[in-house]
């Protein structure tokens, strides 16, 4: 009997349930065709969890996630929960989940699918664009203390603290070096060492580790320079390692290179096989419930789930090739349609599943 893998699905808010639903269907198809056994369990998170339970993440949901093989995540947030004075926000659930799972390296692969080159606002040759951003996940301003807002006689005042330990920086950089060795052996360490103390510590650690990895070409890049180069020369990058906030912003910028945020997957990994997989886009409340959201970023995240948490590299490659095939066939959701006829979320999921069945020698359902 095939080994059982428990997958916790946290669909979240907005379009989260729609896109994760298609990724689950893809994983179910893979399980049937390649003799895997996946057990899915849904757990609330984000705004819907606040509405139902008063918190953005239940402790029992976190415990189930810790015991699982992987977590498939959708998106959280929306106008309904946008009160900046609220004691609990949907994003608190996402941050608590990352922290609780012990994932510290967020992998965000960036490539341009040939059929979508025209959807990119960049007019350069994008065929050579293929890099991975490794974003540190547990430190920086998102977790630093003190963090507070208060009122003074002269107006409001706020403080966010960016804090990093040498150990936090070293473990994510080591992950990046190992990844670079499996690719083109180039690593860009991105910091703000000319202004920030955390940036100077980051560069010191990167410099020390570069001496231990003479086979990897290392460059230190200021974050503003990196943002510029992503637009003018993205093909120069192979592995980019950076801190939490910088990585969040840079990968949203990088998503435009491929034509849409709806196309980019991510994998959040720690020291073991357990990982958390999610598209980089948000909850898109303006289109939620309309059945038009692009599920491909989430489906590609499911491919990363297969590769990193299940150890099913062949199956992951089949899913990735299926996505490329449907794009080659001219199928588009609204965000990447560029004047072409657009299909809906479920129809795109159907097309990917048919392409997977075809690759596996099984007739479409």
Catalytic residue numbers read: 142, 192, 224, 248, 252
Distance from the first to the final alpha carbon of the chain: 24
Q: Of 29, 14, 7, 21, which Cα lies nearest the Cα of 360?
A: 29
CA distance 224 to 234: 14
CA distance 160 to 343: 43
Q: Of 18, 10, 73, which Cα lies nearest the Cα of 295?
A: 18
Q: Of 320, 306, 319, 249, which Cα lies nearest the Cα of 280?
A: 249
Count of alpha carbons within 13 Å of 185, Cβ hemisphere only?
5
Cβ–Cβ under 8 Å, residues 103 and 71: no
The number of residues making up the chain comes to 365
E strands present in 199-299: 217-222, 239-242, 265-269, 275-279
CA distance 95 to 87: 15
CA distance 280 to 260: 10
Residue 303 in tokens: 């491919």
């Amino acid at each position: 009997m095939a080994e059982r893998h428990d997958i916790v699905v946290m669909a979240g808010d907005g379009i989260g349930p729609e896109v994760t639903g298609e990724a689950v269907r893809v994983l179910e198809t893979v399980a049937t065709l390649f003799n895997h056994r996946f057990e899915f369990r849904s757990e609330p998170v984000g705004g819907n969890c606040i509405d139902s339970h008063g918190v953005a993440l239940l402790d029992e949901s976190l415990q189930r996630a810790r015991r699982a093989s992987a977590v498939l995540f959708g998106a959280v947030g929306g106008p309904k929960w946008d009160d900046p004075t609220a004691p609990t926000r949907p994003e608190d659930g996402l941050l608590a989940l990352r922290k609780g799972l012990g994932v510290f390296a967020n992998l965000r692969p960036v490539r341009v699918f040939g059929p979508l080159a025209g959807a990119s606002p960049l007019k350069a040759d994008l065929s050579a664009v293929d890099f991975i951003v490794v974003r540190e996940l547990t430190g920086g301003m998102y977790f630093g203390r003190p963090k507070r807002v208060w009122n003074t006689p002269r107006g409001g005042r706020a403080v966010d603290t960016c804090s990093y330990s040498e150990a936090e920086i070293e473990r994510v950089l080591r992950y990046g070096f190992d990844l670079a060795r499996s690719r083109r052996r180039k690593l860009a360490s991105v910091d703000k060492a000319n202004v920030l103390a955390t940036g100077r510590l980051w560069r010191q650690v990167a410099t020390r580790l570069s001496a231990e990895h003479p086979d990897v070409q290392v460059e230190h890049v200021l974050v503003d320079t990196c943002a510029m180069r992503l637009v003018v020369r993205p093909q120069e990058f192979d592995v980019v390692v950076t801190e939490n906030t910088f990585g969040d912003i840079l990968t949203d910028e990088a998503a435009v290179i491929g034509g849409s945020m709806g196309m980019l997957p991510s994998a959040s990994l720690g020291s073991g096989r357990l990982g958390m997989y999610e598209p980089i886009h948000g909850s898109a409340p303006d289109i939620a419930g309309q059945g038009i959201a692009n599920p491909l970023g989430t489906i590609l995240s499911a491919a990363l789930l297969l590769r990193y948490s299940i150890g099913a590299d062949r199956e992951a490659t089949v899913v990735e090739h299926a996505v490329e095939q449907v794009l080659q066939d001219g199928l588009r959701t609204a965000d990447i349609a560029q004047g072409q006829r657009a299909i809906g979320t479920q129809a795109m999921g159907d097309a990917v599943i048919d392409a997977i069945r075809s690759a596996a020698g099984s007739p479409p359902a």
